[in-house]
Structure 1
């Protein structure tokens, strides 16, 4: 891509969360720990839901998909950040920046769609329990996940292609720990009107639309729960969606908080630090929220760990045999 002064853009510089040298070892250790906890926690959720036949239901099928998406979500940003800190380099190539931005948008969109699908699943389970097994059949569940992947892929591809049309004048500094779409677009020398319109439209359709669907689902869920006569029935109905509601609140709360605060302060480093909440912290907390608040997951986790421990002890005993 040619810029206004006929120079070829080959790289960007990611300034990260802090430029203080003494903070780099602390940031490396902190983000490495958070990344490992996120990957191991979500991987454990996937293994438990696959291995335990009690969890072969639409709710846990969507949960295992969400866990896989969260692993991929953090893997688009944190490993590159750790490499840059370890090598004391802030460089990311132009192609690498576009690729990272594309996958970040893709998995962020998938996260939003999967939370929406899970809200719909809870809506059917609580508001139409007699039709749940018929409505949420394996074919519909597969189609919902497939549609989420297709819409996310189309959005990320379109946003990334629109960035490829932009011209950049020189090696540029991005005051963030990853190639965030808004930051990259506003470093361009060329007109960004179409890019801005594309971002606003995508935010309205792919952000506001799913959020409206989630809010509508939970408004109906609350109405149905209020109509239940027994307190035990109300508690049981609410407990089935409490974990999901906590994850939705955490993800959307931090996401909206980041963009509203960045629009008010216009402090790029503050925005980068706040982005850690939805880009790293939320995927890390999701397995804890679902495992701590969900009795089925806790029981399945105990069975899974018991089987692994039992197999390990049997294997050791066989090795000791002559």
Structure 2
């Protein structure tokens, strides 16, 4: 399908699950970017972006076929939910009851539990008059222990080199919601080596330090005078190699930067982070209305997965900038709330702006 905004095509049987369920791959192309989206996980599978000479390269880490996404690569490029990041012990109190989500990481629930949104096949359809695709999923009451039937829509729109992701969710009972996308980026191109030379800037004065299992301590720590001060662009590799207890805990950066602390956790969409790759000239700007952005340099990537370009993904093969509510928010009344009431609507937007100079 073509329109004034660009072209949308689909391979309806790009992959197939073991039970025979077909998985489609959608391609958006606005003449600047070409974006591949997969129904399994409502995920970003590829992003072809031009360098300063106009030459496109795939800057999103991922896989050429479905199989790795159903195993250890399940988070790559995926929509994460119901609750992105960690929940301490997998339990929390909500609306007078105790909710239990099966722990999956060092005694904590991470990214929604053992069968999260990244493992689901989402329904998909094109958008009228736009270069975009909307993915939809119904998460039933009790899914991974979370209360309430949750209806979720994730819409990707492409326009003039900008990829916008809009999340909308409604529930029929009080629940918690924290949605994000877990794309890994390497602006030099997938398989080109580590992101150590990338220059990163995060527009935040504070971050959330971690305890030993990756949970936030609850402190809002100023970045000034620490390796976490990214208010001016710095090379990733230089900072990761510094001797700092927090960097050691995260195997590099794996921390939430504080963009807003308003009670509802919302803010006007604004610039959160900028990444530049000096050789290609490619730049990625991340704009969001979410209160936090999790900056992750992939320290836990173990070199066991082989990406589209035939290279293995080891530490710092890519970096992630996950716009979201704060990790473990149900246990921290001082954090922006992630509670969603029946009859209310969760809505958020993140825009990825690609350019080259």
Q: TM-score normalized by structure 1?
A: 0.27
Structure with the larger strand share: 2
Structure with max Cα Rg:
1
Structure with the larger helix share: 1
